[in-house]
Structure 1
Amino acid sequence: MSDETWDPEDEHAACERIDRRHADNPRLTGWLAEQRDRFDDWDRREGRHGGGWDFSEPSLDRMEALIREHITGPDELFAQEHTELVQVACWYVGEVHNRTRGTQWRMDPEPADTHPWSKRPYVIMPFERLHEYKDPEGIDYDARPQHHPLSSFLGLLSAEPAAGAGGGSVTGSLRGELDDYR
């Protein structure tokens, strides 16, 4: 597109249209409902995952430890991507973002085979807050931070756990990502 025909309002309208499609579609609605149902059962099973998950920032440390305990590396993560453990964990991490930072779920209603991340759910700030986030390089119109929880787990499994300030508890990537919304 040449500079003569580029219109920032067109970009805004296109961005808003994409955001709306990603926010309200059967793929996302179905995935969210399935994970909420699974979580209710998952949380009740005290012995399996400990119960008492409260969607707080500190609970991300606990989720990080759970993922590290059950998944040893990136290959295993992708092999187990569609298991209850990984899917509910992804949902839980996104819900913590939503409840503590005001993000919202999104999922591409028509994912591209050439872009595997378009098949996965993510959280992002509401479109109404678009102008609060500027791309420092001025390239991207939509610079709202977004997080794919599966990608967050990938980062965890590629890094060493960090010792927390509270006496050696595992903290790091999952909780640290919440700072991206400032």
Structure 2
Amino acid sequence: MLGRPFGLLFEPIPAPYEPGAAEVEYLQRWLRTRRAGFAHWTATYGDGITWDHSPESLEALGAIVLRRTPTLDALADPANADFVEGASWYTGEALLRVKGGRWIYRDGDPEVNLFDGYPFVKQDGPFGYSAVPYRALRVLIKRGDPRHLRKRYDDFSA
């Protein structure tokens, strides 16, 4: 099956994947941390924005990402880790609310497999597509396009 025309961010996973216990534990801890810290995250980085997982909120997030982390080096800077993790989580949650799905985490080298090393979302069903929110943030910065996350949302909902 060919991927959709927008490239590596939304590709079918080649085979069903069952994460190991350590991967499940990592993901559960990451999700708990993100959920528990979301109110603080929004107050710190996006006060005054309606964080309702809508396409419009993703546009607002895109603008914040470009202001806060305008370069790939800034995105990878440990000083910005809380912001980046929160932005990744929010992006994934917005995508999951479009057609359902689940979070998955696979340990491994993201330079070898684009689904390894970062939590990602996968739509339900045999032909469900997946998205790696951290990679979507990288593309947003590379393109300098604050609407990029909105476009991915629209693509994911098609």
Q: TM-score, normalised by structure 1?
A: 0.67
How far, CA to CA, are the matches of 1:175 and 1:103 in structure 2?
18
In the alignment, residue 40 of structure 2 is paired with which amino acid?
D
Higher relative contact order (CA 8 A, sep 6+): 2
How far, CA to CA, are the matches of 1:82 and 1:115 in structure 2?
24
How far, CA to CA, are the matches of 1:39 and 1:115 in structure 2?
31
Unaligned runs of 5+ in 1: 1-13, 134-143, 162-169
Q: Which has the larger radius of gyration?
A: 1
Q: In the TM superposition, what is the alpha-carbon distance from 1:102 to its structure 2 partner?
A: 1.3
Candidates 43, 47, 51, aligned match of 1:50: 47
In the alignment, residue 158 of structure 1 is paired with which amino acid?
K
Aligned to 1:79: 77
Unaligned runs of 5+ in 2: 1-13
| Runs of 4+, deviation exceeding 3 Å | 112-117
Deviations 1:45-94 (A, max 9, x none): 2x642143111121100000000011111122122486111100100000
Aligned-pair identity in percent equals 23
How far, CA to CA, are the matches of 2:97 and 2:60 in structure 1?
17
Are positions 1:111 and 2:122 aligned together? no
Are positions 1:156 and 2:153 aligned together? no
Contact kept in structure 1, 2:71 and 2:141, CA below 8 Å: yes
Tell me how large the CA RMSD over aligned residues is. 2.6
Q: In the TM superposition, what is the alpha-carbon distance from 1:115 to its structure 2 partner?
A: 3.5
Aligned to 2:24: 25
Query: For residues 120 and 74 of structure 1, do their structure 2 counterparts lie closer, same or farther at Cα, with a shift above 3 Å needed?
Result: same
Q: TM-score, normalised by structure 2?
A: 0.76
